[in-house]
């Protein structure tokens, strides 16, 4: 039942994005949607369905500009380092624990960290996030990484938990 | 694209030019930075924003017709797939033993024994893996 609903949703998205109303286009879309829904049936993709709630959607919309601001800052930061003739980098992998509990929230946090200045998620093991930093601070690199998670965790908790 | 000097066209082309600029910086980063992890940082960040800006330019230019709608979908997918791919590549590189560049100061991933698969418990000398010799 849930798979059928997912396939229907995919099909509607297909039709909306292709604008193809001829029989061949509709049939191809139906086949692709069914295949996608079946392939993802056991992958826990329905965890994302919690987003279909007005309050959560509202916080997701608040999250977008916050993330966008981080992406822009992050780009300027990398651009500055890359252009600088001295190439000021001090790389390494730090770690930090996240307080988020649900899997989609943790996944979103890891992806957000990758898009923020000078940090990239390497792996998430349980609640420990391993983060590659382009600049590792002299003192307490893990604490610094931990503090960088905080602005995201509050919003992600409202969205996913 | 009727009048290439209209305000909408100018704004769209400005977005695209900025996008190409960030993509270019990403490429410079790929060449200049030392190892796969640092290069992934430049690759993901600059190319994500660069491609965002290009797609926004397309949306501005064509409006939300079939092409603009697809550009919007690409934007949504890119924001999820780009960091996910960076994580997958970085994790795979570390697990298959690609070392951090000389001059790297810290490797908690190897310290915790996560970065290695196989008989040896953890890479690096003594309990201080990554310090000086990553």
- Alpha carbon B60 to its chain's center: 24
Q: Hey, are the CB atoms on A82 and B100 less than 8 Å from each other? A: no
pLDDT score of B76? 86
* Closest in A75, A114, A141 to B106, CB measured: A141
Position B111 in a domain? no
pLDDT at B50 over 80: yes
Per DSSP, helices labelled H in B33-112 are 36-62, 66-95, 108-111
pLDDT score of B111? 82
Return mean pLDDT, chain A: 86
pLDDT score of B97? 86
pLDDT at B55 over 90: yes
Q: How confident is the model at residue B116 (pLDDT cuts 50, 70, 90)?
A: low
Position B62 in a domain? yes
* Residue whose entry in the numeric block shows the structure tokens 């039942």: A1
Do the beta carbons of residue B49 and residue B78 sit within 8 Å?
no
Taking contacts as CB-CB distances below 8 angstroms, the residues of chain B near A120 are: 37, 40-41, 44, 83, 86-87, 90
Share of chain B above pLDDT 90, in %: 34
Q: Hey, are the CB atoms on B49 and A94 less than 8 Å from each other? A: no
pLDDT score of B80? 87
Q: Hey, are the CB atoms on A93 and B107 less than 8 Å from each other? A: yes
Q: How confident is the model at residue B54 (pLDDT cuts 50, 70, 90)?
A: very high
* Arithmetic mean of pLDDT, B14-42: 91
Q: What is the domain extent for residue B20?
A: 7-98
pLDDT at A153 over 60: yes
Best of B72, B87, B111, B113 to mutate (most A CBs within 10 Å, chain A):
B87
Q: Which one is predicted more confidently, B54 or B73? A: B54
Position B123 in a domain? no
E strands in A54-141: 92-97, 119-125, 128-133
pLDDT score of A43? 63
CB pairs under 8 A between A and B: 138
ipTM exceeds 0.90, yes or no: no
Q: Hey, are the CB atoms on A93 and B130 less than 8 Å from each other? A: yes
Domain boundaries, chain A: 2-43, 50-160
Position B12 in a domain? yes
Those residues whose C-beta lies under 8 Å from the C-beta of residue B81, and which sit 6 or more positions away, are: none
Q: Which one is predicted more confidently, B122 or A41? A: A41
Q: How confident is the model at residue B123 (pLDDT cuts 50, 70, 90)?
A: very low
pLDDT at B121 over 60: no
pLDDT at B28 over 70: yes
* Arithmetic mean of pLDDT, B85-111: 88
- How many other C-beta atoms can be found within 10 angstroms of the C-beta atom of residue B31? 9
Chain A neighbours among B 71-110 (CB < 8 Å)? 73, 79-80, 83-84, 86-87, 90-91, 94, 100-101, 103-110
Position B74 in a domain? yes
Q: How many domains does chain B have?
A: 1
Q: Which one is predicted more confidently, A7 or A42? A: A7
DSSP-based helix, strand, coil % in chain B, nearest 5? 65, 0, 35
pLDDT at A89 over 90: no
Nearest CA in chain A to B25: A79
Return mean pLDDT, chain B: 80
* Closest in A82, A110, A130 to B32, CB measured: A82
CA neighbor of A110 nearest in space, from B46, B36, B87, B113: B87
Q: pLDDT, tens digit, for every residue of B35-44?
A: 899 999 888 8
Q: pLDDT, tens digit, for every residue of B3-19?
A: 667 888 999 999 999 99
Q: How confident is the model at residue A46 (pLDDT cuts 50, 70, 90)?
A: low
Most confident of A15-29, A52-66, B80-94, B103-117: B80-94
Position B94 in a domain? yes
Q: pLDDT, tens digit, for every residue of A23-33?
A: 888 898 899 99
Q: Which one is predicted more confidently, B117 or B78? A: B78
């Amino acid at each position: 039942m849930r798979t059928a609903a997912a396939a229907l949703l995919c099909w509607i998205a297909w039709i909306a994005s292709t604008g193809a109303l001829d029989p061949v286009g509709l049939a191809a879309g139906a086949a692709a949607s069914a295949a996608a829904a079946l392939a993802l049936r056991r992958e826990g993709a329905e965890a994302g369905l919690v987003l279909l709630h007005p309050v959560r959607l509202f916080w997701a919309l608040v999250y977008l500009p916050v993330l966008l601001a981080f992406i822009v800052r992050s780009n300027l930061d990398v651009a500055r380092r890359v252009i600088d003739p001295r190439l000021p980098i001090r790389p390494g992998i730090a770690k930090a624990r996240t307080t988020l509990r649900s899997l989609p929230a943790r996944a979103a946090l890891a992806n957000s960290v990758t898009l923020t200045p000078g940090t990239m998620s390497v792996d998430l093991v349980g609640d420990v996030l391993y983060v590659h930093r382009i600049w590792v601070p002299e003192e307490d690199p893990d604490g610094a990484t931990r503090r960088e998670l905080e602005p995201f965790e509050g919003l992600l908790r409202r969205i996913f938990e | 694209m009727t009048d290439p000097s209209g305000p909408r066209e100018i704004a769209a082309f400005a977005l695209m030019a900025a996008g190409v600029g960030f993509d270019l910086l990403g490429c410079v980063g790929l060449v200049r930075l030392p190892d796969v992890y640092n290069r992934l940082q430049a690759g993901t960040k600059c190319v994500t924003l660069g491609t965002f800006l290009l797609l926004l330019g397309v949306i501005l230019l064509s409006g939300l017709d079939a092409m603009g709608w697809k550009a919007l979908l690409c934007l949504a997918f890119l924001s999820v797939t780009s960091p996910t791919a960076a994580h997958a590549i970085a994790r795979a590189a570390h697990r298959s033993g690609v070392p951090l560049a000389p001059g790297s100061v810290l490797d908690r991933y190897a310290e915790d024994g996560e970065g290695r698969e196989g008989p040896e418990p953890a890479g690096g000398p003594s309990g201080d893996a990554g310090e000086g010799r990553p």
